[in-house]
Chain A
Amino acid sequence: DTAVSQTPKYLVTQMGNDKSIKCEQNLGHDTMYWYKQDSKKFLKIMFSYNNKELIINETVPNRFSPKSPDKAHLNLHINSLELGDSAVYFCASSQDGNSPLHFGNGTRLTVT
């Protein structure tokens, strides 16, 4: 069974479009995250939710809106996509803030 699953794996879209990435975890963890990995492999946190409550919003543009319908799901909606949004987006979960992160396989977003 996949612990943290995110869909789609690849997302190719044009500038200005709106897209969503879905994430689900079956580990029973309370905390979920979105991380962004740029073309140079640099990883940076975007958002963190604990039991559906937003904990971290790391100065991400308002075009990015996370939504957590329950503690097992954390989706990411992106409005008005820009070229600079092209990256790999990783969903992750952890039991608590000091526990290891369990990452999904990533969504490679390409904006043309």
Chain B
Amino acid sequence: AQKVTQAQTEISVVEKEDVTLDCVYETRDTTYYLFWYKQPPSGELVFLIRRNSFDEQNEISGRYSWNFQKSTSSFNFTITASQVVDSAVYFCALPPPGSGNTGKLIFGQGTTLQVKP
């Protein structure tokens, strides 16, 4: 079964701390995409990254970095030197097997990150 687990329901850090949000997934597909989305307090859903399972190189974008490890089925997200504006709910997602080109995504439960000043 397709499953995305974000075991951390809520994380609270103080500004400038580094924080890692965990994502563990299950899939029977051999190739697949993984996604992270951000939902700030204003409510919109913002795309952060898409990772192809072929590519296990870590991705860095400014203060954000992603560690994809196919061997452990994990796609973790690290924010370096967190800021108050990083406070949001973060979702990990992947397509269910056999979904083809439908665009259907299975979302994790989300991790609420609170960054305190």
| Same assembly | yes
Task: Please state if A97 and B102 are interface contacts (CB–CB under 8 Å).
Answer: yes
Nearest CB on B from A35, distance (A)? 8
Q: Which chain A positions have C-beta within 8 A of B99?
A: 97
Which of A11-19, A38-46, A59-67, A69-77 is near enough to bind chain B? A38-46
Known: A41-B89, A43-B91. A103 touches B44 (CB 8 A): yes
Q: Which chain B positions have C-beta within 8 A of A92?
A: 45
Task: Please state if A88 and B43 are interface contacts (CB–CB under 8 Å).
Answer: yes
Query: Which residues of chain B from 52 to 72 have a CB within 8 Å of any chain A CB?
Result: none
Task: Please state if B33 and A98 are interface contacts (CB–CB under 8 Å).
Answer: yes
Nearest CB on B from A76, distance (A)? 17
Nearest CB on B from A47, distance (A)? 10
For A31, the closest partner residue in chain B by CB is B103
Q: Which chain A positions have C-beta within 8 A of B95?
A: 97-98
Cα A96 to Cα B44 in complex, Å, equals 21
Cα A97 to Cα B105 in complex, Å, equals 9
Main SS of chain A's interface residues?
strand
Quick one: CB contact mask for A65-97 with B, threshold 8 Å, 1 for yes? 000000000000000000000001010101011
Which A residues fall within an 8 A CB radius of B?
Answer: 31, 33, 40-45, 48, 50, 55-56, 58, 88, 90, 92, 94, 96-106, 108
Q: List 27 A-B contacts (CB under 8 A).
A: A31-B102, A40-B109, A41-B110, A41-B112, A42-B107, A42-B110, A43-B91, A45-B104, A50-B101, A56-B104, A58-B104, A96-B103, A97-B103, A98-B33, A98-B95, A98-B101, A98-B103, A99-B50, A99-B103, A100-B35, A100-B50, A101-B47, A102-B47, A103-B45, A103-B46, A105-B43, A108-B43
Which B residues fall within an 8 A CB radius of A?
Answer: 33, 35, 37, 39, 43-47, 50, 89, 91, 93, 95, 99-105, 107, 109-110, 112
10 new A-B contacts at CB < 8 Å, known A48-B103, A56-B102, A101-B103: A41-B39, A41-B110, A48-B104, A50-B101, A92-B45, A97-B103, A103-B37, A103-B44, A105-B43, A108-B43
